[in-house]
Amino acid sequence: MRLPLALLAITAGVLACLGVSIANQTTTPPMFSEIMRGRYLVRAGDCAACHTAEDGKAMAGGRAIPTPFGTIYSANITPDKDTGIGNWTDEAFWRAMHEGRGSQGRLYPAMPYPWYTKLSHDDVLAIKAYLDTLPAVRNDVKTPDLPWPMSWRPVALWAWDGMFFHPGIFQSNPQKSTEWNRGAYLVEGPGHCGACHSPKNALGAVKTDHRFQGGMGEGWFASSLRGTHGEGLGNWSVDELVSYLKTGANARTRAMGAMQEVVEKSTSHLNDDDLRAIAVYLKDLPGNDEQHTQRASDDRDVLNRGRLVYVDQCAGCHMEKADGLAGVFPPLGGNTAIHSQNATSLARIILEGGSSAKTAHSKEGFAMPGFADKLSNADVAAVLTYLRANFGNQAAAVSESDVADVRNKLARR
């Protein structure tokens, strides 16, 4: 018995160094490799981003998640027995991930079970094994702030699931490579990329015929991941995608806004093989150039106003010809975000500013100041319209009312 006990002690010490504990285990502890695989999958799924409130304890829930229908608060997924998942069996956790069923019935699809359903049974149990090692945190999460009938959970979610949810584990495509299938599994399953990067219908479900063509998520517009040139990834190489996911930057752009958090808490922690697999899969998504060809503005008054704003406020960093400064300020010519069909994220970045991702691979953390106090809605609309019509860009004009809508939503946060 001495050798197993010694090994268990060593394992406990290693887990403690990683910030986890086996003190709450009531049965034989899972294998160390399973716990570490679960930890990796939790990061791949970006669980901490939603399940950790601002200034809150890790995974203790309570983060407000805005939806078009109201606010939902993320669940406590620490092993606390009263307010978390400490009393959940493996089977109960599997049902939550695979079927969208929690301890109080059906889950709201703000929890991305339509994607997590694709995870294998072993991967789900590995995630549970890791979560069971976390410190138990007591945190009573608020009930969702939703109007009727969305608040009538049994009926509303029964109807939603019946119309839009199709449970099923990921099935490999035998016509594709092992690398492609691994990327597909990560993107379509734990990564749940389509939850933000796809347009939604009036009930918040992904428009399956337009998957990955760009969509709204938590107040940001997530750009197209398809092979479209301009607003999509058609001009990106696999290596550029890998660099972006690993460091939050490449020669074309920097991750800011919601994607900054994804890079910091999720993709920067994935190994190079998985990042390349994701890139290979995304690069294989067909483009949709015909559907989203945009006509740039030819309004000379607006373009001239935008040019003056750009020279006065932007050119100091992004340079006169919008080619940026390598490794510091991204170029704006040919920039995917500039071509976005929806300018919400562009307007938001100009108004409130933002920081680039800080990771183990890129610790600079460059920041852009906000211009809400300097620029009017008309100024922001004009400079965006100017950028979208120059420097090799071709995208539709941005209206003053569009910018006003973004500013008003930021003021209500």
- Tell me phi and psi for residue 212, to 5 degrees: 65, 20
CB 96 within 8 A of CB 106: no
pLDDT of residue 29: 63
SS3 98: helix
- Taking phi over 0 as left and psi of -120 to 50 as alpha, with beta for the rest, 299 belongs to beta
Q: Mean pLDDT for the chain?
A: 90
Task: Report the pLDDT averaged over residues 363-380.
Answer: 91
Residue 293 binned pLDDT confidence (cut-offs 50, 70, 90): low
CA–CA dist 189, 115 (Å, integer): 5
The pTM for the full model equals: 0.90
Helix (H) or strand (E) holding 265: helix 258-265
Q: Which of 35-39, 147-151, 280-284, 366-370 has the lowest mean pLDDT?
A: 147-151
pLDDT of residue 294: 77
pLDDT in tens, 170-213: 999 999 999 999 999 999 999 999 999 999 999 999 999 999 99
Residue 350 has pLDDT above 80, yes or no: yes
pLDDT of residue 104: 79
C-beta pairs of 83-87 under 8 Å, 24+ apart in sequence: 83/138, 83/139, 83/140, 83/141, 84/60, 84/136, 84/137, 84/138, 84/139, 85/128, 85/131, 86/24, 86/136
pLDDT in tens, 59-99: 999 999 988 888 999 999 999 999 999 999 999 999 999 99
pLDDT of residue 150: 79
Residue 9 has pLDDT above 70, yes or no: no
Task: Report the pLDDT averaged over residues 220-247.
Answer: 94
CA–CA dist 30, 61 (Å, integer): 24
Q: Which of 104, 98, 91, 94 is nearest to 161 (CA)?
A: 98
pLDDT in tens, 16-30: 454 444 444 445 567
Residue 15 has pLDDT above 90, yes or no: no
Residue 395 has pLDDT above 60, yes or no: yes
Residue 109 has pLDDT above 50, yes or no: yes
286-320: string of b/e by CB count within 10 Å (b at 16+)? ebbeeebeeebbeeeebbebbbebbeebbeeebee
Residue 295 has pLDDT above 90, yes or no: no
How many CB atoms are located within 10 Å of the residue 334 CB? 17
Residue holding tokens 């703000």? 110
Task: Report the pLDDT averaged over residues 255-269.
Answer: 94
pLDDT of residue 103: 82
CA–CA dist 218, 122 (Å, integer): 31
User: Domains of the chain, with CATH numbers?
Assistant: 2-164 (no CATH), 178-283 (1.10.760), 300-411 (1.10.760.10)
